[in-house]
A and B are shown apart, each in its own frame.
Chain A
């Protein structure tokens, strides 16, 4: 899994990665106190169990290969850096994207798989706090992101591109900022950082990060809309004008 890069590029990307505020969303071990860990773990285990059941009922024997490659896709997409307005660079969290293309249950299952592999194999986020990470980014980021997106999309028009674009833009920005705020509250409740410091640092950064997230999610979703709209969890119903009309007039 060697990522080929030039040395200079490597160094600059090292700087960006080291100072990347995103990592504040992957809480390491020891940052949260036992009550917060236990509560978030309990909620996350429930979410995982429900999601597994729902996804297996929906995808049947396609579950393992499809969820596996989609989780690998989110993992790969999270490694891609892109410039965000404001000068720094950021990368995708992918919760809303996963929700929009896979639906709330499969989307959050995929995100859960990503967090488990990141925490367990790459030490990106701790084990004792994995419940909190899953809660923030899987439940709030993906589940919340999906329903916000779907509500906006339905208000504007289920089958229209603007509904899709505005829905994903708003939902991905909001989900990132809300996840950051909840993470700040968890840190404050655990007594690790004072609430004011945590909130300003986390929310302040993620307001910017969220813009990057929204731009990339919109670009991605618009591309899928143009090429394979049938892949969306709730695909748009397009009037299949030309061919049908042609046949019926004959």
Chain B
């Protein structure tokens, strides 16, 4: 959400490129990313070689997809700074040898292992998800969820939500500008009251907009059944990609199977 505030948010900048990653059907791209994220996130702490193998694989896909690295890194840095705040709590814990102590604050080997593992897991997962949203148009991504057996009703709700986020943010900003220009935001108590009222007003407008949208949909022949766009069928290269992802995931885990 910080991404939205900075204004540097850019989804879907690389979806027009033609690489072997872009040739995969959207649902297979989602499956590959989800499979890898699960494999990364569910690996027990301290298995560095597993993540090294995954990291090489991810780097390969990033290079192959020719994603714009400046955008990717900017998003990645912002998101990781989010993650960092919670991480500090993991450092100061008991267990293992004490490496450094200052009063009751001390850093132990266990603390460092947990910190390093969790950072790696979060970072690798973020890279993969960023790759997914930078290379796939969002509406297509949501429709592909439908092909992956997510209930069509939920997909339709998500798609309609995505369409109106920008509209509602713009509407709220205009309300806020109106309040600021009338000097209503100068005092903290007033500020809260005005924001609360604005959110209430935004809800009423939203509900009415929802009803208008509903009538508009009815007048265009909507019958209450959400229709999903037909997604392209999986081909041999898609099956191949999914298999190799699964193999990579297993290979990473197999390093510690002894």
Residues on A facing B (Cβ under 8 Å): 1-5, 10, 13-14, 17-19, 21, 23-24, 27-31, 33-34, 37, 48-49, 52, 56, 60-73, 75-80, 82-83, 92, 97, 101, 109, 113-114, 116-118, 120-124, 126-129, 187, 191-194, 197-198, 201, 212, 215-224, 227-228, 231
Is A122 within 8 A of B192, CB to CB? Answer: no
The answer to whether the Cβ of B162 comes within 8 Å of any Cβ in the partner chain is yes
Is B1 within 8 A of A122, CB to CB? Answer: yes
- Residues of A near B172 (CB, < 8 A) are 76-77, 80
In the complex, what's the smallest C-beta–C-beta distance from B201 to chain A, in angstroms? 7
Contacts A123-B129, A220-B203, A223-B201 given; indicate if A67 touches B122 (C-beta within 8 A). Answer: no
The answer to whether the Cβ of B57 comes within 8 Å of any Cβ in the partner chain is no
**A220 CA to B193 CA in the complex, in Å?**
8
B120 and chain A: residue at smallest CB distance: A30
Contacts A30-B121, A113-B158 given; indicate if A118 touches B1 (C-beta within 8 A). Answer: yes
Q: Which of B19-27, B87-95, B228-236, B248-256 contacts A (4 or more CB under 8 A)?
A: B87-95
User: Which residues of B from 168 to 205 have beta carbons under 8 Å from A?
Assistant: 168-169, 171-173, 176, 188, 191-193, 195-204
Is A223 within 8 A of B34, CB to CB? Answer: no
Is A1 within 8 A of B163, CB to CB? Answer: no
Is B85 within 8 A of A19, CB to CB? Answer: yes
- Most chain B C-beta atoms within 10 Å of own C-beta, residue among A19, A97, A127: A127
- Residues of A near B96 (CB, < 8 A) are none
- Most chain B C-beta atoms within 10 Å of own C-beta, residue among A2, A76, A114: A76
Which of B2, B41, B200 is within 8 Å of A30, CB to CB? B41
**A233 CA to B101 CA in the complex, in Å?**
55
Is A219 within 8 A of B195, CB to CB? Answer: yes
Is A68 within 8 A of B161, CB to CB? Answer: yes
The answer to whether the Cβ of B99 comes within 8 Å of any Cβ in the partner chain is no
Contacts A28-B122, A30-B121, A56-B153 given; indicate if A101 touches B3 (C-beta within 8 A). Answer: no
- Residues of B near A70 (CB, < 8 A) are 206-207, 210
SS class of chain B's interface: helix, strand, loop or mixed?
helix
Contacts A3-B7, A23-B85 given; indicate if A75 touches B157 (C-beta within 8 A). Answer: no
Contacts A61-B214, A72-B164 given; indicate if A48 touches B154 (C-beta within 8 A). Answer: yes
In the complex, what's the smallest C-beta–C-beta distance from A11 to chain B, in angstroms? 10
In the complex, what's the smallest C-beta–C-beta distance from B164 to chain A, in angstroms? 4
A49 and chain B: residue at smallest CB distance: B151
Is A216 within 8 A of B195, CB to CB? Answer: yes
Is A194 within 8 A of B193, CB to CB? Answer: no
Is A64 within 8 A of B157, CB to CB? Answer: yes
Is B196 within 8 A of A215, CB to CB? Answer: yes
A23 and chain B: residue at smallest CB distance: B82
In the complex, what's the smallest C-beta–C-beta distance from B107 to chain A, in angstroms? 13
6 residue pairs A–B, Cβ–Cβ below 8 Å: A23-B85, A24-B86, A29-B41, A61-B218, A83-B191, A218-B196
Contacts A56-B153, A231-B204 given; indicate if A194 touches B94 (C-beta within 8 A). Answer: yes
The answer to whether the Cβ of B62 comes within 8 Å of any Cβ in the partner chain is no
The answer to whether the Cβ of B71 comes within 8 Å of any Cβ in the partner chain is no
**A79 CA to B5 CA in the complex, in Å?**
8
Is A34 within 8 A of B79, CB to CB? Answer: no
- Residues of B near A201 (CB, < 8 A) are 89
Is B157 within 8 A of A68, CB to CB? Answer: yes
Which of B120, B157, B193 is within 8 Å of A219, CB to CB? B193
Is B213 within 8 A of A73, CB to CB? Answer: no
The answer to whether the Cβ of B60 comes within 8 Å of any Cβ in the partner chain is no
Is B153 within 8 A of A52, CB to CB? Answer: yes
Is A73 within 8 A of B202, CB to CB? Answer: yes
Is B41 within 8 A of A228, CB to CB? Answer: no
B80 and chain A: residue at smallest CB distance: A28
**A123 CA to B81 CA in the complex, in Å?**
12
A25 and chain B: residue at smallest CB distance: B86
Is A75 within 8 A of B199, CB to CB? Answer: no
Which of B130, B198, B210 is within 8 Å of A123, CB to CB? B130
**A117 CA to B82 CA in the complex, in Å?**
17
**A215 CA to B157 CA in the complex, in Å?**
29
In the complex, what's the smallest C-beta–C-beta distance from B196 to chain A, in angstroms? 2
List 6 A-B pairs, minimum CB-CB distance, nearest first: A219-B196, A30-B121, A68-B160, A223-B200, A61-B224, A29-B125
